[in-house]
Amino acid sequence: MSTHTEHQAQQGREPLDVNTPGLTRFDIVREGARRDDIEIVHYEPQVVAGSKAERRLVRLVAGLFLLTGLLATAFLVIYIWWPWEYAPGRGSDKYFTPLLGVTLGLSLLGVGFGILAWGKKLLPKEVSIQDRHEGAVAEDERTITGQTMVYMADELGVKRRPLLGASLLLGLAPVGAVAAAPLVGGLISDPHKNNQMFTTGFAPAEGGQKIRLIREDGRPVRPSDISAGGQLTVFPGVEHGVSNRHADSPTLLIHLRDSDAQESRKANERVGHGDYMWGNYAAFSKICTHAGCPASLYEQQTNRLLCPCHQSQFLITDNARPVFGPASRRLPQLPIEVDSEGFFVAKSDYTETVGPDFWERP
């Protein structure tokens, strides 16, 4: 005699033969619960099948799932077709990110409230008590487990309430597409058009005209503007060069002291950048190669440039090599010189990609 049978015999109950014809699925589920020392002491449907109350709740849950689908579809439409590229002024591009957040957030709320309403209002109420026990799984137990799972699926009422099943499918399918959208976004719109990932605002203008280095207020920079050991953040002297349109272009122009400049020139020659400096001046990208934060805290005594986000440190006199923190790639150096009017210009664009690593970076 099995352990479960002995236990039921001790309680004065004869175990049911789960293969007996005429047993309902609930009878098998209850017998399985008893064999696991679980007694279902209360089981009550919350609504009468086919009643107005049930139909009203079904419409509510279906409406929430369909709303989820509409909002998730709206997310996809905005993600694919809404103008997202930055433009000065109060254009529609300013609403791109907020609209993505609103549609995705409300769609997740919709599916959450739909599941809650389904579970709280449509599924039967049940109270069960279980005793702990140990024992091997018999063949009957497998039959009971299978029937219990089917019974639970039946209790969801999808077969009897086809509107729920259809709304669940229509509502969650777009949510699945939302999860895949970022993965296939690069296949919808080419992220490399105009070579935007490999050029900055310092790229020479038409005709090969070199780009000046300017302050935030638009004034060009002369060598005498920076004292020895000092530094200045500069931008490309092009239209909107100081705006987010050229957010990859902020550059730190540093006036090194004589001994530090000699060390920096030797380091440049070792990597083929012998002509990147002008006198004792060197220019490096401010965009940290770890996560794209602004590396702007310059310590002139040690010639280290610190990124405040994750504490990466770059040694300026050694080609801005990372010497501490999570960054693993040096800051790109901008080749500079002085034009005929005495202002700093970029000899060319950066010869290395600016910012954090990405898949296509050489």
CA–CA distance, 255 with 234 (Å, rounded to integer): 13
Q: Are 349 and 202 spatial neighbours (Cβ–Cβ below 8 Å)?
A: yes
* Spatial distance between the Cα atoms of 18 and 41, rounded to a whole number of angstroms: 20
What was the pLDDT predicted at 22?
82
DSSP secondary structure string for all residues of 143-154: HHHHHHHHHHHH
DSSP letters, 189-243, are S-TTGGGTTT--TTS--GGGPPEEEE-TTS-B--GGGS-TT-EEEEEESSTTTTS
92: left (phi over 0), alpha (psi -120 to 50) or beta: alpha
Question: Which of the four CATH numbers 3.40.30.10, 3.40.640.10, 2.102.10.10, 3.40.190.10 does domain 211-346 have?
Answer: 2.102.10.10
298 or 141, higher pLDDT: 298
Residue 66 host element (H or E) = helix 52-81
Residue 12 — very low, low, confident or very high, per pLDDT cuts 50/70/90?
low
The pLDDT value given to residue 168: 72
Question: Which residues does 84 contact at the CB level (< 8 Å), separation at least 6?
Answer: 93, 96
Classified as helix, coil or strand, 185 is helix
The full set of domain ranges for the chain reads 52-123, 211-346
267, 270, 275, 276: CA torsion to nearest 10: -50
Tell me the average pLDDT across 97-118: 92
192-222 pLDDT per residue, tens: 666 667 889 999 988 889 999 999 999 999 9
**176 phi/psi in degrees, rounded to 5:** -65, -40
- As to burial, measured by CB atoms within 10 angstroms (0-12 exposed, 13-18 middle, 19+ buried), residue 184 is exposed
Q: What pLDDT is stored for residue 359 in this prediction?
A: 59
Of 227, 215, 233, nearest to 287 (Cα)? 233
* One-letter amino acid for residue 177 of the chain: A
User: Strand locations in the chain, DSSP E?
Assistant: 38-44, 125-130, 211-214, 231-236, 251-255, 281-285, 297-299, 304-306, 313-315, 321-324, 336-338, 344-346
Q: pTM for the full model?
A: 0.56
- Give the percent of the chain with pLDDT over 70: 87
CA distances (Å), origin 313, targets 271, 293, 297: 20, 12, 9
> Which pLDDT tens digit goes with each residue over 32-63?
888 777 888 888 888 888 899 989 999 999 99
pLDDT, tens digit (0-9, with 9 covering 90-100), for 13-22 = 677 787 888 8
Q: How far apart are CA 54 and CA 70, in angstroms?
A: 24
Identity of the residue numbered 106: L
**Alpha carbon distances (Å) from 344 to 53, 119, 214, 331:** 78, 69, 8, 20
Residue-wise pLDDT tens digits, 121-170: 888 888 888 766 566 667 777 777 777 777 777 766 667 677 777 777 77
Identify whether the C-beta of residue 163 lies closer than 8 Å to the C-beta of residue 62.
Answer: yes
Give CA 109 to chain center in angstroms: 19
Residue-level pLDDT at 10:
46
pLDDT tens track for 300-327: 899 999 999 999 999 999 999 999 999 9
What average pLDDT does range 70-81 have in this prediction?
A: 90
pLDDT at 350 over 90: yes
pLDDT tens figures, 224-270? 999 999 999 999 999 999 988 899 999 999 999 999 999 999 999 99
Helix ranges (DSSP H) in 125-191: 139-155, 162-188
The predicted structure's pLDDT at residue 1: 46
Query: pLDDT value at position 50?
Result: 84
